[in-house]
């Protein structure tokens, strides 16, 4: 008699706990977005809360008066190019690691995840200065690829491990070369995994702060650096700052809304196996 009742009670408790967890993680983001549409007087008055007359003034000012549009263009260019180039070299490598049991060789590349990026900045700076490339898109694309290649490799190794070998073997029996089997059979099957890995690589490139902080000049600056500089010269313009933060978070929010299934799969791939 009491068992079903306590079960229902537990269910409600669990639902309440889940709602609490969601509020904890969602409310700060909601607060940021709300502040982007407040006047500066409203932003610094906590009693205004979430009920107010929204204004587009901050967004308009940030878009027209600051360098943020150009930064978004730079980030988009660097993100897309570095992601595509990384996928071109990392996807075949992941396949080779998975199919030919080269885990040891593959894990060498993951050393790149361990080394603190700061220890690479001075040598890279020295090297790229010799080549006259500091401040160019090339340096930023190469440095962002340094993050994307291991990331895509990591995700794709476990993705390929989940694809059946039999299809490739059947294709080989039908006369395709090993490369042909990869290109005509496996690669199309790997499209969802590749898309996932690329989406994550793009997001991490979009968010990358340190490389552009050191290697970019005014014309190649990316969004996190623009936001950081905006903060240091207009620390009291909360409305403008929140508008800028919201603008550069918008692509991530859209990706999260439409691609959560893939993003979660990519973020957690390889984790369960240990």
Partner 1 sequence: MATLQLPGSTRQSTTEPGRGRPPRSFESSNRRLKWAMLTPALLFVGLMIAFPLAYTVNLSLTDAFGAVNAGSSHVGLRNFGDLLTDTRRFWPAAWRTLEFTVGAVLLETVLGLAVAMLLRKPFRGIRWVRTVLIIPLLTTPVAIGILWLLILDPTNGIANHLLSELGMPRMEFLGSVGQSLPTLMLIDVWQWTPMMALLLLAGLTTLPEEPEEAALVDGAGPWQRFRYVILPMLTPALGTALVLRAVDALKTFDLLYATKGPGGGADFEVETLNVYAYGLTFDYQEYGLAAALLVLFTLVIIGVVVALRRRATSSGRKDA
Q: 60 vs 261, which CB is nearer to partner 1?
A: 261
Applying CB under 8 A, which part among 42-50, 62-70, 132-140, 190-198 lies near partner 1? 42-50
Copy the structure tokens of residue 12. Answer: 């409600």
Applying CB under 8 A, which part among 54-62, 133-141, 190-198, 251-259 lies near partner 1? 251-259
Contacts 24+ apart (CB under 8 A), 23-29: 29/249, 29/253
Q: Please tell me whether residue 240 binds partner 1 under the rule CB under 8 A.
A: no
Q: Please tell me whether residue 112 binds partner 1 under the rule CB under 8 A.
A: yes
Q: Please tell me whether residue 176 binds partner 1 under the rule CB under 8 A.
A: no
Applying CB under 8 A, which part among 66-74, 76-84, 107-115, 185-193 lies near partner 1? 107-115
Residue 153's nearest CA partner among 113, 206, 207, 205 is: 113
Cβ-contact 97, 106 below 8 angstroms:
yes
Q: Please tell me whether residue 268 binds partner 1 under the rule CB under 8 A.
A: yes
**Min. distance of Cβ 64 from partner 1 in angstroms?**
20
Measure CA 211 to chain center: 15
Measure CA 254 to chain center: 12
* C-alpha–C-alpha distance, residues 141 and 134, integer Å: 12
For 164, which DSSP code?
-
Cβ-contact 238, 42 below 8 angstroms:
no
Backbone phi and psi for residue 135, each to the nearest 5 degrees, phi listed first: 90, -10
* Among the listed residues 8, 9, 56, 105, the single contact to partner 1 using CB under 8 A: 105
Site pattern 55..84 for partner 1 (x: CB under 8 A): ------------------------------
**Min. distance of Cβ 193 from partner 1 in angstroms?**
15
Cβ-contact 241, 234 below 8 angstroms:
yes
* Among the listed residues 77, 80, 133, 142, the single contact to partner 1 using CB under 8 A: 142
Q: Please tell me whether residue 87 binds partner 1 under the rule CB under 8 A.
A: no
């Amino acid at each position: 008699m009491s068992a079903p009742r306590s079960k229902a009670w537990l269910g409600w408790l669990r639902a309440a706990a889940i709602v609490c967890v969601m509020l904890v993680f969602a409310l700060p983001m909601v607060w940021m977005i709300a502040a982007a549409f407040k006047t500066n007087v409203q932003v610094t008055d906590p009693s205004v809360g979430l009920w107010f007359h929204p204004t587009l003034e901050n967004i308009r000012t940030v878009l027209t008066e600051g360098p943020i549009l150009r930064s978004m263009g730079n980030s988009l260019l660097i993100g897309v190019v570095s992601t595509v180039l990384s996928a071109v070299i990392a996807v075949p490598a992941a396949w080779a690691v998975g199919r030919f049991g080269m885990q040891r060789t593959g894990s060498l590349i993951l050393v790149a995840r361990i080394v603190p990026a700061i220890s690479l900045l001075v040598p890279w700076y020295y090297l790229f200065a010799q080549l006259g490339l500091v401040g160019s898109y090339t340096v930023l694309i190469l440095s962002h690829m340094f993050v994307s290649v291991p990331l895509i490799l990591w995700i794709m190794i476990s993705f390929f491990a989940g694809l059946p070998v039999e299809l490739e073997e059947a294709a080989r029996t039908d006369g395709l070369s090993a490369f042909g089997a990869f290109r005509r059979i496996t690669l199309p099957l790997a499209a969802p995994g590749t898309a996932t890995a690329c989406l994550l690589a793009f997001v991490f490139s979009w968010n990358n702060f340190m490389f552009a902080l050191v290697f970019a000049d005014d014309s190649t600056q990316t969004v996190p650096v623009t936001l950081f500089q905006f903060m240091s010269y207009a620390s009291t313009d909360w409305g403008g700052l929140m508008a800028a933060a919201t603008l550069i978070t918008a692509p991530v929010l859209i990706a999260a809304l439409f691609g959560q299934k893939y993003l979660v799969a990519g973020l957690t791939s390889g984790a369960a196996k240990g």
